[in-house]
Chains A and B, each alone.
Chain A
Amino acid sequence: MADLTTHIGSLELKNPVMTASGTFGYGLEFADLVELDQIGGIIVKGTTLEPRQGNPYPRMAETAQGMLNCVGLQNKGVDYFCEHIYPEVRKIHTAVLVNVSGNSPETYAACAARIAELEDIPAIELNISCPNVRQGGMAFGVTCEGAASVVKAVRAAYPKTLIVKLSPNVTSIADIARAVEAEGADAVSLINTLMGMAIDAEKRRPILSIGTGGLSGPAVKPVALRMVWQVFDAVKIPIVGLGGIMNATDAVEFLLAGASAIEIGTANFIDPAVTVKVVRGIEEYLDRHGFRSASELIGLAHQS
């Protein structure tokens, strides 16, 4: 049976399948429906230094093969996470990562520093790409200078594995990836949601409370795959690929495009057990094609 182990910097994952932030809660919400221990990694919901109420309802709209959301980083803040959630999630036998967000380089760094104290959180994913908050979020992720400023501040405060989640709402994602690599990021994850909107024709107004939101689901997969492909040629650090992955074939495509690991997001809403099915599917693919390890697939499509 093939070896599924993969590496993101110094972080070793038992398999390349992680859950995308904001789509899997703290993992515990899914405990009845999927074997959490079988997942390669769980990236818990976006956490900020201070609690945030997020945007008003309505926050979602269904679209063709996807959905829009404008949740806006609702969370109870990093102190709540450390005191109430961490003691529970540390019991899960897989890598638990925290997605960290902020509204200035200082607040990002302060939040990351709090997470760094948690022994059983081996890595963070830095969210510089949330399209649904006015201050911070994507504002940092759409320029090389903005992205570099946040990564620089966090790198100084956070010694463990640092993954930076990139926005697709940019002219050149490869340039942003290079900028965060230069500031010491250990890996990049991409893509966050694509900015979009939905309008209710009968009511003649936008469906989402703030007008626009982030598009996810199979509708964005070709865009995400292309961006992983481009970033693979641009940087040396590992890539975590995500965007519309629904099954093992989708996941394999991202590995072939250059991802060392993948994240499953919106698909968790459709099938709460999808992650483990994808793990088994990747294993089956490797065996069927005679690969000894999942790492052999990384970037393989570039060689053809």
Chain B
Amino acid sequence: MRKYQLDLTLKHLSKPRPGYVLLQLTDPSAPLPEMLPGQFVEVRVDSSASTFLRRPISINLVDRQENELWLLVHVVGPGTQAMAELNTGDRLNVVVPLGNGFTLPQRPASEGEPCAEGSSESAVAPRYLLVGGGVGTAPLLYMGQELVRRGCKPTFLLGGRTSSDLLQLDLFGKFGEVFVTTEDGSAGERGFVTQHSLWQTATAEGGARVYDRICTCGPKPMMMAVARLAGEKGIPCEASLENMMACGLGACLCCVEDTRDGHVCVCTEGPVFPTDKLKW
């Protein structure tokens, strides 16, 4: 997929929760390039001493009608803080799209018709369970949108420490069934995403909740726990990693993950990996 360096314009900035900022960016001169759920962009923040490198941010949503790219940012340091202080109309330099993205089902022959994963042997559209924690839910929104466009009905399982960590629930609800956990019980079931009751009936085949694939993004311990559960149930699982990176292009070799194939770049071989490739 072709990569671009673009100066995008900030159309709208909102703060869905304290500590989080949603940037809605647009290219006033051209349609945004093709990009996939799970891919990311490298944002050039500014040239201040402490924000020298670009910041990798996952794609939250692509709104083709509005020609908008959404980035949902958790404010954790000087780089993300600078992003939170941008003003409408500001320009933001991004390199886009980067990385591989989640495995998607084949595009349907005609719009709205259900589609099968891989070959067209299976009559039912693949059933996806998308499991996110904290700001790791961000790429799952775009994944949900794309799955619906391809005739799937995804299930979302989203977790946070407390209810204010749960973001964009209304938008997730448009694309599929949403289940929620919080560690303090302030919303949904109390506990971690891996303790949610839906796992009791989730299976790879022949149960109340059949899933063909699990995609997860969030804190590493959460993804490891999700991968373990998926493994027990025999459901293929993909996780999106967020190792520290510099170039985003596979040149600097800083973001490597130690996989069963050795050290590979998260920015080019990932960020999405089948969890059985990881040494978790």
Q: Give the residue name and chain of the A residue nearest to B95 (CB).
A: A272
Check if B249 sits within 8 Å of A59, measured CB to CB: no
Q: How far is the CA of A69 from the CA of B244 in the complex (A)?
A: 11
Residues 36-53 of B, flagged 1 when their CB comes within 8 A of A and 0 if not, give 000000001000011011
Majority-rule SS of A interface residues: loop
Q: Are B52 and A66 in contact (CB under 8 A)?
A: yes
- Least CB separation from B268: chain A residue: A29
Q: Least Cβ distance of B249 to chain A in Å?
A: 5
Picked from B2, B4, B253, B256, the residue with its CB within 8 Å of the CB of A22 is: B253
Contact with A along B243-265 (1 / 0, CB 8 A): 11111111111111110001100
A232 beta carbon closer than 8 Å to chain B: no
A54 interface neighbour in B244, B251, B253, Cβ under 8 Å: B253
| Complex Cα–Cα for A218 and B47 (A) | 11
Q: Which residues of A contact B250 (CB under 8 A)?
A: 25, 29
Docked pose: A63 CA to B51 CA in angstroms? 9
CB-CB under 8 A from B257, the residues of chain A are 57
User: CA of A33 to CA of B52 in the docked complex: distance in angstroms?
Assistant: 20
Give the number of chain A interface residues (Cβ < 8 Å). Answer: 34
Q: Which of A137-145, A250-258, A263-271 contacts B (4 or more CB under 8 A)?
A: A263-271
Among candidates A63, A65, A74, residue contacting B256 with C-beta atoms closer than 8 Å = A74
Q: Are B258 and A67 in contact (CB under 8 A)?
A: no
Which residues of B lie under 8 Å from residue A65 when comparing CB positions? 49, 52
Inter-chain contact B95/A25, CB cutoff 8 Å: no
Known A-B contacts A33-B3, A269-B53; A24 and B256 likewise in contact (beta carbons under 8 Å): no
**Given the contacts A32-B4, A53-B263, A69 and B95 also touching, CB distance less than 8 Å:** no
Across the two chains, which residue of chain B brings its CB closest to A27? B251
Known contacts A54-B263, A65-B52; A273/B249 CB under 8 A: no
Inter-chain contact B249/A29, CB cutoff 8 Å: yes
Task: Please report the C-alpha to C-alpha distance between residue A286 and residue B5 in the assembled complex, in whole angstroms.
Answer: 28
Given A57-B243, A58-B244, A66-B52: A23 and B2 interface contact (C-beta under 8 Å): no
Query: Taking CB as reference atom, which chain A residue is nearest B79?
Result: A62
Assess whether B256 is in contact with A268, with CB atoms less than 8 Å apart.
no
User: Does A299 sit at the interface, judged by CB under 8 A?
Assistant: no
* Nearest residue, chain B, Cβ from A25: B251
Docked pose: A69 CA to B247 CA in angstroms: 12
Given known contacts A269-B54, A272-B95, A60 and B254 CB-to-CB distance under 8 angstroms: yes
Docked Cα-Cα span, A22 to B253, in Å, equals: 8
Chain B hits for A56, CB < 8 A: 258
Cβ-neighbour of B251 out of A24, A60, A67 (below 8 A): A24
Near A by CB (< 8 A), chain B positions 49-99 give 49-50, 52-54, 95
Q: How far is the CA of A53 from the CA of B250 in the complex (A)?
A: 15
Residues from chain B with Cβ under 8 Å of A61 in the complex: 244
Task: Spell out B's residues near A (CB within 8 Å).
Answer: 2-5, 44, 49-50, 52-54, 95, 243-258, 262-263, 268
| Residues of A near any B CB (own CB < 8 A) | 22-25, 29-30, 32-33, 45, 53-54, 56-67, 69, 71, 74, 217-218, 268-273
